[in-house]
Amino acid sequence: MMTVKYKNKYLSCIQKQLYKFAVVLVVVSMLFDTLGINQTFAYFSDTAISTGNTFTTGTLAISLDNTNTFSSGLLYPTDSTSTGMDISNTGSLDSQYEASTTLIGSDNSACDYITMTATNGTYTYTGLIKDFTSSATTTTNATWNYNFTVSPTAPPSVWGKTCYFNWSYTAWQSNLSDVSSGFTSIKEKSGSIRIGKAVVLNEILYNPKSTDPAPANKEFIELYNNSNVSFDLAGWQVSEISGVTEQKYTITTTSGSNTAVPYSGSTIIPAKGWMTLILSDSTALNNTGDTVRLYDASSNKLDEYAYAGGKPAGFSEARIPDGVGAWVDPLPTPGGPNEIMENAPEVPVVPDQVSSDGGSGAVPDISVATTTNSDVTATTTEPLVAVPDSTASTTENMVNDITATTTASTTVQMPPDEPIVKPVPVPEPAPVIESVVSEPAEPVIESAPIVEPEPVIEPTSIVETPATEPPPAI
């Protein structure tokens, strides 16, 4: 009985102690939460001294010989272009690098039809521009050569679009595994490849001349193929817009309503060749102005040209040079190279006129001089010299500026009952030609040109004297 009581007392004591411990633990925990007391850490410290150490610094840098933007100009299907650039290590640290290309811009559809070949002599890549990333290469002086080729299957939907991209050369230290470790040096260069419009509007004849040889005697629209690839244009369309109404004509070899039939009889336009289309409506193109468009078989608008009209019959609107040049107005050349007119009708040119004082003024036409008189008629092949109505000019000016060698029939009117005596020389410091006109009651008669048979023109004057003998023939 004593033993049982002792055990109960002992257990009761233990329970009391555990209870007290739990209470203390709760109180301490509440204090930590209430007062925000954090853990406290203690550290040991030690000092070590090392001597004889050397610290050095270095630079990590690469350079390109040319960072100017590269632009290809117009490239058509199967066309190629190339460029190159030199890379070198300009830092003091050994480095390695990789080259890559990244597309930029919102419309990269043209990039899907451009193949790139890249090589530095030890590494070569061939594929699309967007997929190029070279393997890591030790940075030494090296040349990268790039060649770009437009796919022969590049569709009309990408004609006229440009592929924009960046070259990136990223270098890092040679003793590190990859570019994510340590420092880097990055050089970039921009590039663009433009795919040209292979098939375009090239010539438009809206006011044909019916007497010209076919097909230039009818309205036509001519297309030109800038590329080295032939295309089948069956199902393509050309259109004209008068006001707000657009009328389309489908390219086909079968005549019918709203059709454009190739004059050659084939819908194949050859490489670097032409196609002349005759519209089913023979007066579709307005002479007072119109807009002409070209569509592919998927209704993508490829080209457009608006003309003002108003040209004479037989003149066309054409690109010179073919396919890429500005629009001008030569004579029509359907199915052949457009050319500037060389045999156009000559426009009469009025020579500079010389007055009696050597300046500009009106003078008589000296090629043919004709007056009316049935009494005296003379024909000559000698140069005709015009004598102005005003005071005399010097012989030098008159001969040099107003002479013309021609065969002309000249009728000279003589005043009645007033014979002319043979001219006599007049001593003057400077030779002159004078014209003296009598003033009878009747209207004044203009003096006629006087021609001497000798090659040297001497100064002469007309002297009015009484008639003693019949007038000599001129």
Residue ranges per domain, the chain?
Answer: 62-195, 199-328, 351-474
**pLDDT the model gives residue 41:** 67
Tell which CATH architecture fits domain 62-195.
Answer: Sandwich (2.60)
Q: Are 309 and 286 in contact (CB under 8 A)?
A: yes
**pLDDT the model gives residue 33:** 64
How far, CA to CA in Å, does 250 sit from each of 200, 278, 299? Answer: 16, 11, 11
Residues of the chain with pLDDT under 70: 1-10, 31-42, 329, 331, 336, 339-474
The separation between the first and the last C-alpha atoms of the chain, rounded to the nearest angstrom, is: 188
**pLDDT the model gives residue 352:** 33
**pLDDT the model gives residue 211:** 92
CB contact set of 365 (below 8 Å; sequence gap of 6+): none
**pLDDT the model gives residue 57:** 84
Long-range CB contacts for residues 411-414, cutoff 8 Å, separation at least 24: 411/370, 411/371, 411/372, 411/373, 411/376, 411/377, 411/378, 412/371, 412/373, 412/376, 412/377, 412/378, 412/448, 412/474, 413/371, 413/372, 413/373, 413/376, 413/445, 413/448, 414/373, 414/375, 414/376, 414/471
Instruction: Please tell me if the domain spanning 62-195 has the same topology as the one spanning 199-328.
Output: yes
How far, CA to CA in Å, does 117 sit from each of 5, 133, 438? Answer: 101, 12, 96
Q: Which two tokens stand for residue 240?
A: 């004209």
Tell which CATH architecture fits domain 199-328.
Answer: Sandwich (2.60)
**pLDDT the model gives residue 42:** 67
Strands 95-104 and 162-173 come out as antiparallel
CA 101 centroid distance within chain: 29
Distance of alpha carbon 124 from alpha carbon 103, whole angstroms:
20
**pLDDT the model gives residue 48:** 85
- Cis amide prior to 388 (ω within 30 degrees): no
Question: Which of 398, 384, 396, 395 has the alpha carbon at shortest distance from 355?
Answer: 398
Question: Which of 364, 377, 462 has the alpha carbon at shortest distance from 413?
Answer: 377
